[in-house]
């Protein structure tokens, strides 16, 4: 039985991917899903057409895609159309022994409509290796053999399909068109020859009608055939003959966010607990200063900065800043071990507070005896979490903050890389340079920071596009910023963070807040320790900075701010809603949904609706995008707090634009609250 | 292009502050075999008399090295490599391996230890917990058959030592593996073994280095 299961799962992995980057044969879709949480990057090329697609399996039964396509000669010789599109697919029925899987797909549901199609498709697997697919499609799919819409029985509105892109700007949901007009059938088969090789054949009704006008692509036959090869790393290459006209190549790369480069990481192991008798013997002759100095050195070695220390009876209270670990739980575990080894055995309880710039985020109580009992227990992660007590903060006593902890100076100098996507003149622009960041924490909570950037290689500043926005140019002048700046003061701020009360955090920042704006920003966050919900309010008065990104301001200033709700949904989901006034003075709300994996890998999407009309907004109709965040430790297997974060917007315009102030409180505090601690607790003993 | 490379290299060389960490990471990725030194390991190596040592290796990765005994507490020994990775041994049986990439974080191998050291054979169960790539702990149970595999001579620092060889074949839901132990006849202790660390790195070869005395 185990062998049968192994064979079945081995087969299931060979998921063929279409030129559109979604589960499919060659051009037509199938009713399959990727593995839950998987990210699939696909590049496909056929005559005069290239498609790059990122598909994310958001839920076991839903996947969403973002696609960037270029079509040469679509509007005549020498022209290239760059097209961005979003797809979403829903599995309506899972495959069973006797019935097929059924999927409803919406392709290019919100773009300019070049690829707009809707379909229902069914796939059934026979004898593990043979898959039969058939479906009915509307829109672009209703080409060869099209017949009048069977949905016409529900009303005559289904009989005709209005022209796409009704507002001329793209970006709006074209649900008025969905499933309307003629329909056509499609189908195909795949046969998995072995673990590596799969053969594919299909009938595609797509006539490439728009492409045929200027002879960009001609369809000679509806039959496509191809072979797909799966490499050792799991990526796949498909070669095909499409429509009797073109060779096709498709390459897909699969990323499973749950699988970091090494499962347990390659960073140094934690210091083992010394026998209690040995700790008693070595600490007996030491004064408290000596003990503190040794503890500080041992913590430093683990990447932790000791900033607070006080003792009452059998309890040691300690505050540390974590400069190394992606998971706060790992920082807690290391601190607890150091305490057990360096503090005399009379100290039985350790209250450990995680601090950020001198502000305590949360405190966790760990007992010495529990450490000894559980260090080598196979189930120590869960059992130690059950015994740890998380509280809002430490009762900080006067004199507890170490005299040598503040003022504290830190700096960082290294390379940086910026991207701009989807400019029709150059779809991928970048800027590479050197960045210097300085932080000076004068006293707990009060920090002066600056960040300087000097570009070295840049194609961002080659852009000569002029913003046609009718709104204040709060973001769309990015090309002018890139052109006219050289050495940039990215930010220069005085920031004060404090805790006005239990469950509350506050921040005030004054100065040059971000590349394009400077001013005053204030924020208050309510976030109980073990709550899934956090509520925040932020108010900012900002002025737009000069294009040279040095010290001057332009004439435009605005009062902007939001109230925000953050909710940590069960499972791996996180939702955020921000309601308020945006930089261009528009009012509205931003909705964000992220899938957050335990290890810190995040995939999310957002959109903003404001009182700016789609005509005023311009291309894209409203602000939206997807974002990816990858912990550096996920890529390298070594502990690091750094992340690679990238937001991808189809187009960056002025409506629904939000201020990018640093250190928003939710991001600073979240790692130390119970929800995040419990998720990362597997690393307490690592 | 050359200018770009030079520039990047220059930037990397003068990177400092927290960025130093990034550079270390980059170096580690580009030159995975370059030595890395851990301050705890350096302190331990400077200790005299030299702490007890193990010769270890991962045959699947063609890696080999020496580990020093860092601590022994509650019957569990923690051994440390020069770059800060550790294993723990309980009566010579491997219970954890951290810092090598795999995530064997804890084990219950008492049933196996009783049979292997007691010279018996039969069925036992063992339990392992693994830290996975998503920072979660996977608890796994295995059924194992322990058999006598004859006698064998192990050479410890040039001295042939008579041992009894024991083999343990285990299977669980997702994995199967084989551990081999060489138990010294005169002391009844494991002097050499090949033990499974998890699916990521496979078996680890462990051999004790006797004291100079």
Q: Do B101 and A263 touch (CB under 8 A)?
A: yes
Q: Do B71 and A273 touch (CB under 8 A)?
A: yes
Q: Which residues of A touch B131 (CB under 8 A)?
A: 263-265, 682-683, 686
Q: Which residues of B touch A301 (CB under 8 A)?
A: 39-40
Q: How far is A97 from chain B (nearest CA, A)?
A: 24
- A511-553 pLDDT, tens digit each: 999 999 999 999 999 999 989 999 999 999 999 999 999 999 9
Q: Do A599 and B103 touch (CB under 8 A)?
A: no
Q: Which of A265, A269, A411, A414 to mutate to test the interface with B (most CBs of B within 10 A)?
A: A269
- Same domain as B134, residue B121: yes
B128 touches chain A (CB under 8 A): yes
Q: Which residues of A touch B136 (CB under 8 A)?
A: 598, 682
Q: Which residues of A touch B85 (CB under 8 A)?
A: 266, 268-269
Q: How far is A236 from chain B (nearest CA, A)?
A: 23
Q: CATH number of A13-255: 2.40.160.40, 3.40.50.300, 3.90.79.10, 3.60.15.10? A: 2.40.160.40
Q: How far is A30 from chain B (nearest CA, A)?
A: 30
SS (H, E, C) A77-95: CCCEEEEEEEEEEEEEECC
β-strand A80-93 against A101-107: which pairing, if any? antiparallel
pLDDT of residue B38: 86
- Same domain as B62, residue B5: no
Q: How far is B56 from chain A (nearest CA, A)?
A: 17
**Residues 4-23 (B) with a CB less than 8 A from some CB of A:** 4, 7-8, 11-12, 14-19, 21-23
Q: How far is B82 from chain A (nearest CA, A)?
A: 10
pLDDT of residue A12: 44
Q: How far is A280 from chain B (nearest CA, A)?
A: 14
- Same domain as B44, residue B116: yes
Q: How far is B144 from chain A (nearest CA, A)?
A: 17
Give me the residues paired with residue A457 across strands: A432
For chain A, which residues make up each domain, given as ranges?
Answer: 13-255, 276-404+677-683
Q: Do B106 and A378 touch (CB under 8 A)?
A: yes
B71 touches chain A (CB under 8 A): yes
Q: Is A589 exposed, middle or buried (0-12, 13-18, 19+ CB in 10 A)?
A: middle
pLDDT of residue B25: 58
B141 touches chain A (CB under 8 A): no
Q: Do A377 and B84 touch (CB under 8 A)?
A: no
Q: What is the CA radius of gyration of chain A?
A: 29
Q: How far apart are CA A189 and CA A524, in angstroms?
A: 58
**Residue A205 near residue A221 (C-beta atoms within 8 A):** no
Reading across the β-sheet that carries A349-356, which strands appear in turn?
Answer: A304-312, A315-322, A349-356, A359-367, A389-391
pLDDT of residue B9: 52
Name which of B16, B73, B104 is nearest A272 (Cβ-Cβ).
B73
ipTM of the complex: 0.89
Closest CA to A170 of A592, A590, A653, A622: A622
The size of the A-B interface in CB pairs under 8 A is 183
Closest Cα in chain A to B21? A640
Q: Do B25 and A686 touch (CB under 8 A)?
A: no
Closest Cα in chain B to A276? B73
pLDDT of residue A393: 82
Any idea of the CA torsion for A400, A403, A407, A409, to the nearest 10 degrees? -100
- Same domain as B192, residue B140: yes
Q: Which residues of B touch A327 (CB under 8 A)?
A: 135
B169 touches chain A (CB under 8 A): no
Q: Do B103 and A265 touch (CB under 8 A)?
A: yes
Structural domain range at position B9: 1-34
Q: How far is A600 from chain B (nearest CA, A)?
A: 8
Q: Which of A414, A456, A603 to mutate to test the interface with B (most CBs of B within 10 A)?
A: A414
Q: How far is B76 from chain A (nearest CA, A)?
A: 8
- Same domain as B164, residue B76: yes
SS (H, E, C) A341-390: HHCCCCCCEEEEEEEECCEEEEEEEEEHHHHHHHCCCCCHHHHHHHHCEE
Q: Which of B134, B143, B170 to mutate to test the interface with A (most CBs of A within 10 A)?
A: B134
CA distances from residue A493 to A361, A425, B26 in whole angstroms, order as listed: 22, 36, 31
Q: Do A268 and B101 touch (CB under 8 A)?
A: no
User: Which parts of chain A register pLDDT below 50?
Assistant: 1-13
Name which of A258, A263, A597 is nearest B103 (Cβ-Cβ).
A263
Q: Is B106 exposed, middle or buried (0-12, 13-18, 19+ CB in 10 A)?
A: buried
- Same domain as B150, residue B137: yes
How many helices and strands, by DSSP H and E, does chain B display? 4, 13
Q: How far is B168 from chain A (nearest CA, A)?
A: 20
pLDDT of residue A4: 33
For CA atoms A105, A621, A143, A150, the dihedral sign is positive
Helix (H) or strand (E) holding A333: helix A328-342
Closest CA to A324 of A642, A685, A74: A642
Number of domains chain B contains:
2
Q: Which residues of B touch A260 (CB under 8 A)?
A: 133-134
Closest Cα in chain B to A457? B4
Q: Do B103 and A377 touch (CB under 8 A)?
A: no
- Tokens at A422, concatenated: 């989807």
Query: A276-404+677-683: which CATH topology?
Result: GMP Synthetase; Chain A, domain 3 (3.30.300)
Q: How far is A168 from chain B (nearest CA, A)?
A: 42
Q: Do A642 and B21 touch (CB under 8 A)?
A: yes
**Residues 38-67 (B) with a CB less than 8 A from some CB of A:** 38-40
Name which of B8, B71, B108 is nearest A274 (Cβ-Cβ).
B71
- Same domain as B7, residue B25: yes
Residue B127 maps to which CATH number? 2.40.360.10
Q: How far is B169 from chain A (nearest CA, A)?
A: 17
Q: Which residues of B touch A640 (CB under 8 A)?
A: 21-22, 25
Q: Which of B74, B75, B127, B133 to mutate to test the interface with A (most CBs of A within 10 A)?
A: B133
User: Which parts of chain B register pLDDT below 70?
Assistant: 1-36, 212-213
User: DSSP state, A27?
Assistant: S
- Same domain as B13, residue B61: no
> In sequence order, what are the residues at sequence separation of 6 or more whose Cβ sits closer than 8 angstroms to the Cβ of residue A278?
none
pLDDT of residue B28: 58
Q: How far apart are CA A310 and CA A332, in angstroms?
A: 17
Q: How far apart are CA B62 and CA A599, in angstroms?
A: 29
B200 touches chain A (CB under 8 A): yes
pLDDT of residue A157: 84
- Same domain as B51, residue B14: no
């Amino acid at each position: 039985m185990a062998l049968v299961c192994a064979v079945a799962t081995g087969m299931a992995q060979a998921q063929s991917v279409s030129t559109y980057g979604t589960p499919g044969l060659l051009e037509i879709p199938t009713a399959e899903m990727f593995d839950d949480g998987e990210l699939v990057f696909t590049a496909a090329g056929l005559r005069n057409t290239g498609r790059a697609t990122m598909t994310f399996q958001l839920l076991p039964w839903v996947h969403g895609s973002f696609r960037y396509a270029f079509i040469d000669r679509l509007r005549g010789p020498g022209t290239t159309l760059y097209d961005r599109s979003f797809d979403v697919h829903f599995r309506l029925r899972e495959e069973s022994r006797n019935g097929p899987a059924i999927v409803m797909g919406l392709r290019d549901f919100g773009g300019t409509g070049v690829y707009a199609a809707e379909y229902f498709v069914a796939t059934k697997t026979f004898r593990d290796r043979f898959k039969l697919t058939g479906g009915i499609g509307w829109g672009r799919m209703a080409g060869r053999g099209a017949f009048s819409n069977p949905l016409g029985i529900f009303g005559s509105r289904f009989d005709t399909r209005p022209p796409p892109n009704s507002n001329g700007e793209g970006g709006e949901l074209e649900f008025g068109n969905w499933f309307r007009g003629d329909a056509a059938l499609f189908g195909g088969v795949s046969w998995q020859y072995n673990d590596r090789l799969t053969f594919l054949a299909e009938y595609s009704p797509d006539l490439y009608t728009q492409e045929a006008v200027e002879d960009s692509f001609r369809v000679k036959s509806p039959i496509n055939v191809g072979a797909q090869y799966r490499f050792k790393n799991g990526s796949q290459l498909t070669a095909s003959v499409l429509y009797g006209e073109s060779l096709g190549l498709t390459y897909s790369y699969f990323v499973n966010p749950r699988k970091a480069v090494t499962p347990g990481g390659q960073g140094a192991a934690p210091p083992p607990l010394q026998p209690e008798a040995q700790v008693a013997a070595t600490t007996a002759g030491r004064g408290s200063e000596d003990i503190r100095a040794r503890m500080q050195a041992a913590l430093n070695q683990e990447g932790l900065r000791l900033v607070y220390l006080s003792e009452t009876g059998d309890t040691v209270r300690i505050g540390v800043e974590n400069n190394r670990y992606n998971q706060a739980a790992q920082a807690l575990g290391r601190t607890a071990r150091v305490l057990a080894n360096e503090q005399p055995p009379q100290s039985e309880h350790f209250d450990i507070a995680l601090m950020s710039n001198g502000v305590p985020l949360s405190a966790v109580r760990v007992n010495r005896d529990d450490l000894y009992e559980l260090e080598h227990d196979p189930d120590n992660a869960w059992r130690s979490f059950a015994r740890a007590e998380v509280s809002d903060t430490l009762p900080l006593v006067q004199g507890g903050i170490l005299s040598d902890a503040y003022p504290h100076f830190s700096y960082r100098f290294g390379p940086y890389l910026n991207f701009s996507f989807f400019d029709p003149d150059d779809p991928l622009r970048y800027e590479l340079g050197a960045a210097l960041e300085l932080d000076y924490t004068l006293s707990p909570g009060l920090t002066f920071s600056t960040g300087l950037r000097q570009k070295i290689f840049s194609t961002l500043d080659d852009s000569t596009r002029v913003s046609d926005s009718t709104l204040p140019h709060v973001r769309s002048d990015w090309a002018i910023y890139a052109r006219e700046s050289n050495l940039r003061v990215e930010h220069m701020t005085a920031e004060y963070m404090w805790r006005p009360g239990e469950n509350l955090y506050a921040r005030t920042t004054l100065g040059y807040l971000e590349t394009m704006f400077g001013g005053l920003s204030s924020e208050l966050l309510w976030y109980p320790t073990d709550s899934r919900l956090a509520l925040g309010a932020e108010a900012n008065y900002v002025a737009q900075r000069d294009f040279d990104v040095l010290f001057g301001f332009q004439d435009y200033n605005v009062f902007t701010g939001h109230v925000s709700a953050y909710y940590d949904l069960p499972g791996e989901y996180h939702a955020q809603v921000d309601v308020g006034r945006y930089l261009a003075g528009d009012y509205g709300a931003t909705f964000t949904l992220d899938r957050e994996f335990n290890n810190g890998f995040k995939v999310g999407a957002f959109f903003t609706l404001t009182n700016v009309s789609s005509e005023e907004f311009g291309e894209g109709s409203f602000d939206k995008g997807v974002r990816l965040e990858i912990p550096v430790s996920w890529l390298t297997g070594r502990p690091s707090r750094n992340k690679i974060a990238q937001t991808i917007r189809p187009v960056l315009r002025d409506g629904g634009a939000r201020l990018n102030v640093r250190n928003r409180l939710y991001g600073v505090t979240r790692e130390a609250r119970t929800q995040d601690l419990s998720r990362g607790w597997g690393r307490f003993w690592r | 292009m050359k200018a770009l490379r030079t520039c990047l290299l220059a930037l990397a060389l003068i990177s400092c502050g927290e960025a130093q960490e990034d550079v270390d990471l980059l170096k580690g990725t580009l030159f995975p075999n370059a030595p890395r030194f851990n301050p705890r390991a350096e302190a331990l190596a400077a200790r005299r008399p030299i702490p007890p040592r193990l010769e270890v290796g991962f045959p699947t990765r063609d890696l080999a090295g020496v580990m020093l005994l860092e601590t022994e507490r509650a019957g569990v020994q923690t051994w440390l490599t020069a770059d800060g990775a550790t294993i723990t041994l309980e009566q010579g049986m491997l219970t954890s391996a951290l810092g090598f990439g795999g995530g064997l974080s804890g084990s219950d191998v008492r049933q196996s230890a009783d049979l292997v050291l007691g010279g018996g054979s039969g069925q036992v169960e063992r339990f392992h917990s693994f830290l996975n790539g998503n920072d979660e702990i996977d608890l796994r149970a295995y059924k194992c058959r322990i058999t006598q595999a004859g006698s064998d001579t192990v050479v410890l620092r040039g001295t042939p030592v008579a041992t009894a060889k024991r083999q343990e074949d285990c299977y669980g839901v997702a994995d199967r593996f084989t551990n081999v132990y060489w138990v010294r006849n005169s002391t009844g202790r494991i002097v050499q073994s090949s033990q499974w660390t998890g699916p990521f790195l496979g078996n680890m070869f462990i051999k004790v280095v006797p004291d100079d005395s």
